[in-house]
């Protein structure tokens, strides 16, 4: 459905997207994740035919966006908010879009109801909050009832109820066999929304994985134990193949063993302890580690200075 093949785009000395390839399949919500400046918006803009790649291709249904007939009926895109004519009402903004794409007027009312903007449909968009702008942008993306949705940071400005509503909407569309790609720089948001992840850093692909695999590969269990003999326990744990580091207050941070195994080893060696707690490293930590490593690697190569300039 969505294919990005060896895509590259530079802005002056900044390599925004660097030999990026991935495929997004229908029936899933795919999260497009990366820290600020990673190249997410640039990739989505290229997919939506805004700007030309330096090399490679960004394809929807096997074609560049510009070659699609009736694109709004096939692809709904949300880039940044505030792209409406400020003096037009929400209703007239959508009506104008519908008319220019031969979409029936009745659909305008339908999408306004879907995004919860019915009551303010007659108000000029100039007075809209960021959250209302986002809802209007999402309404525009849904107007042609497209098979593909491409949304850039759609939760920006939405209140918790709005975030929950959008999450449900995207999951429902994916469950109905549509293709949904949404970008974010927040792993925790993706953890509850996405089934699949495409992670980029400095314009390059870092991971293309199911959410389930990412979780099982990156979320290690960590056990913290406070012992009366931290040094001896540390040696015992290391001999058993675990990672053990001493933290202040006689606490050991242990990786590679479950809490039950740590407790068994301590007891077997008659080492007393008064606190034992197990936890998992969070997805957010795993994501930050991954992108920090990528940043160090590319900085080492002297690539990609972050300097946002004009259009």
Least distance in angstroms from the C-beta of 100 to ligand ATP: 26
Task: Tell me whether residue 78 or residue 233 sits nearer to ligand ATP (CB atom).
Answer: 78
| CA–CA gap between residue 294 and residue 36 (Å, rounded) | 13
Footprint of ligand ATP on residues 144-203 (CB under 6 A)?
A: 185
| CA–CA gap between residue 294 and residue 94 (Å, rounded) | 41
| Listed residue (3, 48, 38) closest to 17, CA to CA | 38
In this chain, which stretch among 62-70, 136-144, 257-265, 300-308 interacts with ligand ATP, using CB under 6 A? 300-308
| CA–CA gap between residue 256 and residue 281 (Å, rounded) | 12
Site string for ligand ATP, 13-52 (x = CB under 6 A): -x-x-----------------x-xxxxxxx----------
DSSP 89: B
User: CA 172, 133, 110: angle at the middle one, nearest 5?
Assistant: 50
Task: Tell me whether residue 186 or residue 251 sits nearer to ligand ATP (CB atom).
Answer: 186
Task: Tell me whether residue 289 or residue 306 sits nearer to ligand ATP (CB atom).
Answer: 306
Least distance in angstroms from the C-beta of 53 to ligand ATP: 13
Count residues contacting ligand ATP (CB under 6 A)? 18
Least distance in angstroms from the C-beta of 127 to ligand ATP: 25
Least distance in angstroms from the C-beta of 32 to ligand ATP: 9
C-alpha Rg value of the chain to the nearest Å = 24
Q: Which helix (H) or strand (E) element contains residue 204?
A: strand 204-210
Least distance in angstroms from the C-beta of 149 to ligand ATP: 17
Half-sphere exposure at residue 112, Cβ-oriented, CA atoms within 13 angstroms = 20
Backbone angles phi, psi at 45, to 5 degrees: -65, -40
| Interface ranges with ligand ATP (CB under 6 A) | 11, 14, 16, 34, 36-42, 185, 306-311
């Amino acid at each position: 459905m969505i294919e990005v093949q060896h895509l590259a785009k530079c802005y002056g000395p900044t390599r925004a997207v660097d030999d990026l390839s991935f495929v997004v399949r229908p029936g899933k919500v795919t999260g497009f994740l990366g820290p600020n400046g990673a190249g997410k918006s640039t990739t989505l803009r290229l997919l939506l035919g805004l700007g030309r790649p330096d090399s490679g291709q960004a394809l929807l249904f096997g074609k560049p966006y510009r070659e699609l007939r009736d694109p709004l009926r096939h692809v709904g895109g949300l880039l940044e908010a505030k792209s409406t004519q400020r003096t037009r009402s929400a209703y007239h903004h959508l009506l104008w879009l519908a008319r220019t794409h031969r979409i029936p007027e009745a659909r305008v009312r339908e999408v306004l109801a879907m995004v919860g903007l019915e009551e303010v449909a007659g108000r000029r968009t100039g007075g809209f909050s960021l959250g209302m702008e986002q809802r209007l942008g999402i309404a525009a993306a849904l107007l042609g009832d497209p098979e593909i949705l491409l949304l850039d940071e759609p939760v920006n400005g939405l209140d918790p109820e709005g975030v929950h509503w959008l999450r449900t909407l995207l999951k429902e569309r994916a469950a109905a066999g549509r293709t949904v790609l949404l970008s974010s720089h927040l792993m925790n948001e993706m953890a509850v929304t996405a089934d699949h992840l495409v992670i980029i850093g400095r314009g390059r692909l870092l991971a293309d994985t199911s959410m389930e695999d990412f979780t099982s590969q990156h979320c290690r269990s960590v056990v913290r134990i406070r012992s009366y003999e931290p040094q001896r326990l540390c040696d015992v744990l290391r001999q058993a193949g675990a990672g053990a580091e001493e933290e202040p207050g006689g606490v050991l941070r242990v990786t590679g063993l479950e809490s039950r195994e740590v407790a068994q080893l301590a007891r077997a060696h008659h080492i007393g302890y008064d606190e034992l707690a197990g936890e998992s490293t969070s997805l957010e930590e795993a994501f930050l580690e991954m992108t920090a490593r990528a940043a160090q690697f590319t900085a080492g190569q002297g690539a990609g200075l972050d300097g946002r300039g004009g259009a």
